[in-house]
Structures are given as structure tokens and as C-alpha cells.
Amino acid sequence: MSDFFSDGWSVYIAALTVVGLIACLALLVIASRRRVMADDNTTGHVWDEDLKELNNPLPRWWMWLFVITVVFSGIYLALYPGLGTHPGSLKWSSEGQLQTESDRAAAAMAPVYARFLNMSVAELGRDSQAMGIGERLFLNNCAACHGSDGRGAKGFPNLTDTDWLYGNSHEIVKETISKGRNGVMPPMAAALGTAEDVRNVSNYVLSLSDSAHDSVAASLGKSKFGACAGCHGADGKGNQALGAPNLTDKIWLHGWGEQVIINIITNGKNNAMPAQAARLTPEQIHVLAAYVLSLSVTSTTVATR
């Protein structure tokens, strides 16, 4: 798409803008000239038998207002972007203004965050100001996926339960927010064998959490589960080092049931959480991670650093 644009477009837009301003002034000059069209100063147009159109000159106030508008436009285009890629003599940009405002806000909040930075997660959880700031950060940056209450949705983890794919220490949650996560499960149907083997393993997975399943199929799938044990463990309790889910609880991130699990085994799954380090400062992430942990019912038992 970038090949479609060139410097010629900038020149074209700039020329068109300048010509437009000049045309406005030319129109004003032409329209301001009074031409006698008849002895009674009419144009010759008559409506309703006696309503005549007069050929009066433009009002002075209107003419000067028009001139001021055109002159203002010229000055504006000289100072600010508008003539193609010309940045204007003030070098203003919306990106630059946003950065300036962000820097000003960061400087104003620096003393507040400096106090939070040396506080443990337990101390932050008891600080109403820290939790208030953490809540606003969460609503502005995390709620779109995890929900305003942190309970998530299908495919988006619930942050209020006891299930943590990568662990629930303050440092791990900060790492997750900063760097993001990319959870990948490869398609495993070929490794398991036939479609019937996939169905059997799906039922065995359901049996691990005592969910509704076909017990006969589950018993047949147990031996095939070895292909999954490398990530989920021989007991199915998962592996936080890999982000492999615990299959023995009844928490299903992508839905549950035989067919759902068959689809995941067959097609694999790729879930990504974007990194937030470019959007948030380390101090903000420090407070936000503490707020996320406060949403969990086990937040009082997590590691303090």
C-alpha cells in the first residue's frame, strides 16, 4: 500500500490548497466590483411580479471578514501541518503533543509512584490510593479483554479465581503484563493416532476433573495421554513454567465438553496477550500487578515480592 503514495501527492495537496486560497481571494475581488446592469440598479430578475433583485455591492464587514478568514488560513498553514508533508514552522504534531502531555502527567505522578515502588504487594493491597490507581489502570488497559470485573470471558482468563497459568507471584504477574504471553498448544491428533483415539483422550481429560464423560472411552484414552504429559504432566496438573493448564480442575478457558476438547486436540490453540511495557511505565505495572492480584480470592496468600 505504501508504494501507492509518493512525494507527488504532497506537492499535489499543497498546490491544491494554495490555489484554493488564491481562488477565494479572486472570487472576492470579482464579486466586490459593482457593475451597473440597469438604470434602476437591478439585475433584471423579477419574482412575484414586483420583487426585483438588486445589484448592490457586498457589505464591507462581510468582505473584510472573508479577507481575514483567508489570511488566517495562510498563517495557519505556515505555522502548522497542512500543506502536504510540510510540518509547519512550529513543528507541531499530534504525536508530539500527546508525548508532551504524557511526560507532564508522568512528572506530576512521579512522587506518588515513587512511594508505591518500594511497597510490597500486601502493602499495596491495603493502600486505598494504590488500589484506586490500579483500578483505573486496569479499566483503561485490561478491561477490554478481562472485563471490568476481571472475570474474563471465553478465551480470556478469569483473574478472580485461583487458576494461574504462569503463577501468581507479584514478579510473575508484572512480567506477564510487561512482556505479554503467547500460549501455544500444537495440534496433537497425529501424535495420538486415530480419530477414535482423540475422542478417547478427550474423555480421559474430562475425567481428570470429574466432568461428565464416557468412562469406557476415558479408560481407553488414559494410555494415549502420555503424548500430552510432556506439557500437562502425567497427573494432568499442568506446568506453570510452560503455562500449560491444569486439567484436573473445572476451569475451562476455551469451553468444555467432548467436542470442544476434540477440536482443541485436533487443531491446537494459540492465545496471545500483548505486551504492555510500551504503554505503561514500570511503576504503573508495579501497582497494576498488585491490583490484579487483589482481584483473586487468594490474594492474601501470594508472595509479597
Contact 199, 217 (CB under 8 A): yes
Whether the pLDDT of residue 31 is over 90: the answer is no
Q: Has residue 279 got a pLDDT over 80? A: yes
Using alpha carbons, select from 126, 178, 106, 117 the residue that is nearest to residue 293.
Answer: 126
262, HSE (Cβ side, Cα atoms, 13 Å): 14
pLDDT at 301: 45
* Predicted pLDDT of residue 63: 85
What is the pLDDT, as a whole number, of residue 302? 42
Average pLDDT over residues 30-34: 72
For residues 169 and 175, give the distance between their C-alpha atoms in angstroms, rounded to a whole number. Answer: 10
* Confidence tier at 58 by pLDDT (50, 70, 90): confident
pLDDT at 38: 61
Mean pLDDT of 219-238: 94
Residues contacting 259, CB < 8 A, separation 6+: none
List, in order, residues 6 or more apart from 181 with CB less than 8 Å away: 165, 166, 243, 271, 272, 273
Q: What is the mean pLDDT of residues 85-111?
A: 90
Q: Give the mean pLDDT of 257-278.
A: 94
501507492: which residue's cell? Answer: 4
How far is the first Cα of the chain from the last one, in angstroms, to the nearest whole number? 48
Residue 305 pLDDT exceeds 50: no
Residues 290 and 124: beta-carbon distance below 8 Å: yes
**Mean predicted lDDT score pLDDT of the chain:** 89
Question: Could you state, in order of their start, the residue ranges of all structural domains in the chain?
Answer: 2-79, 99-180+274-301, 184-273
In the chain, helix, strand, coil percent, each to 5? 55, 10, 35
pLDDT tens profile 103-128: 898 899 899 899 998 899 999 999 99
Q: What is the mean pLDDT of residues 274-293?
A: 94
Q: Is 239 exposed, middle or buried (0-12, 13-18, 19+ CB in 10 A)?
A: middle
Mean pLDDT, range 215-221, rounded to an integer: 95
pLDDT value of residue 1: 47
**Per-residue pLDDT tens digits for 245-262:** 999 998 999 988 999 999
| pLDDT for the residue numbered 145 | 95
DSSP 12-25: HHHHHHHHHHHHHH
Q: What pLDDT score does 197 carry? A: 95
| pLDDT of 76 | 93
The percentage of the chain sitting over the pLDDT mark of 90, rounded to a whole number, equals: 68
Q: At 236, is the pLDDT very low, low, confident or very high (cuts 50, 70, 90)?
A: very high
For domain 99-180+274-301, the CATH class is mainly alpha
Residue percentage of the chain with pLDDT more than 70: 93
Predicted pLDDT at 303: 38
Report pLDDT digits (tens) over 174-213: 999 999 999 999 999 999 999 999 999 999 999 999 999 9
Q: How many CA atoms lie within 13 A of 172 on its CB side?
A: 14
Q: Are strands 51-54 and 269-273 parallel, antiparallel or unpaired?
A: unpaired
Per-residue pLDDT band for 144 (boundaries 50, 70, 90) equals: very high
The answer to whether the 99-180+274-301 and 184-273 domains have the same CATH topology is yes
With 60 as the cut, is the pLDDT of residue 17 above it? yes
Q: What fold is seen in the domain 184-273?
A: Cytochrome Bc1 Complex; Chain D, domain 2 (1.10.760)
pLDDT of residue 298: 47
